[in-house]
């Protein structure tokens, strides 16, 4: 992977992690178009690095919220921060289950050419976003039951083409959760998963670094981080103002194009 390819994929990851257009789907499509193989320790490491970069973006944007959560946890009191933390943990369970018991099958599946599959998943993302954008005014907090359902949506979004933020925010809004709270919960719930996945991959020896890939890794990290800061802040405003339909239109067009691309390269 060259530094310029890392730059392009970093932009896709930074935008796609927060904007509801599927970062995994766009990075996979981008890799196919650039002729980059999606297997091997080098590319696994790049994936981990850019995900850590967007997780860091989330931490910075929501630093005050995260600080309040930690204060609540270490106060050892049953308060709103403690409840919120438990809801985050509950929401992680479905994705953790899939990751622990089906990781090898997912890695094998993702290694295949899958432009057409990504295209169909992008169409599903478009439908979810349209439904959420047309939902009536919502103002409920995230309940423990909501956390389970949102967590299932996050687990399903492991599939490339299903936007994680799009699926979790849309599910939250359709459940009646306040739009701003839906975005906040969606972005905070993924931080432990990304950091946990990174730690597991490193401990399992699935990633390897060398001086040859230092520049692409650095470029990918910085690009994903900077773009992620912008995209995270932008997405919060867009969700609050019910602007999801524009991303639905984009996902629809991108999905059709991906299906056509998959047909010709199959």
Mean pLDDT of the chain: 85
* Residue 179 structural domain: 3-265
The span from the CA of 154 to the CA of 149, in Å, is 9
Express each pLDDT in 84-113 by its tens digit: 889 999 999 999 898 888 777 776 666 666
Percentage of residues in the chain with pLDDT exceeding 90? 35
User: What pLDDT is attached to residue 266?
Assistant: 60
153 or 80, which is more confident? 153
Half-sphere exposure of 181 (CA within 13 A, CB side): 19
- The answer to whether 161 and 117 are in contact (CB under 8 A) is yes
User: What pLDDT is attached to residue 235?
Assistant: 86
> Any idea which residue has 């979810």 for tokens?
128
The span from the CA of 35 to the CA of 1, in Å, is 10
Handedness of CA 129, 195, 23, 207 (dihedral sign): negative
Express each pLDDT in 210-246 by its tens digit: 666 788 899 999 999 999 999 988 888 888 776 788 8
Does residue 80 carry a pLDDT above 90? no
Express each pLDDT in 106-163 by its tens digit: 766 666 667 888 899 999 999 999 998 888 767 788 999 999 999 999 999 988 889 9
User: What pLDDT is attached to residue 90?
Assistant: 94
The span from the CA of 9 to the CA of 108, in Å, is 21
How many independent structural domains does the chain possess?
A: 1
The span from the CA of 59 to the CA of 72, in Å, is 17
């Amino acid at each position: 992977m060259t530094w310029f390819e890392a730059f392009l994929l970093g932009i896709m990851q930074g935008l796609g992690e927060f904007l509801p257009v599927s970062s995994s789907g766009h990075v996979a499509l981008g890799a196919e178009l650039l002729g980059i193989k999606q297997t091997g320790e080098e590319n696994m490491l790049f994936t981990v690095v850019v995900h850590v970069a967007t997780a860091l973006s989330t931490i910075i944007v929501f630093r005050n919220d995260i600080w309040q959560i930690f204060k609540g946890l270490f106060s050892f009191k049953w308060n709103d921060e403690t409840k919120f933390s438990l809801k985050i943990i509950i929401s992680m369970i479905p994705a953790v289950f899939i990751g622990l018991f089906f990781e090898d099958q997912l890695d094998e599946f993702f290694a295949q050419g899958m432009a057409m599959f990504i295209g169909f998943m992008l169409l599903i993302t478009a439908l979810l976003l349209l439904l959420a954008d047309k939902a009536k005014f919502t103002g409920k907090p995230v309940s423990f039951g909501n956390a389970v359902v949102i967590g299932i949506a996050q687990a399903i979004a492991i599939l490339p083409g299903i936007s994680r933020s799009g699926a979790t925010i849309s599910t939250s809004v359709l459940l009646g959760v306040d739009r701003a709270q839906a975005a906040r919960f969606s972005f905070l719930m993924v931080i432990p998963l990304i950091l946990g996945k990174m730690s597991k991959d490193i401990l399992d020896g699935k990633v390897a670094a060398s001086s040859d890939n230092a520049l692409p890794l650095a470029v990918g990290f910085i690009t994903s981080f900077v773009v992620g800061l912008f995209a995270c802040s932008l997405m919060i405003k867009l969700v609050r103002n019910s602007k999801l339909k524009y991303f639905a239109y984009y996902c629809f067009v991108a999905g059709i194009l991906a299906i056509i691309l998959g047909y010709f390269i199959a």
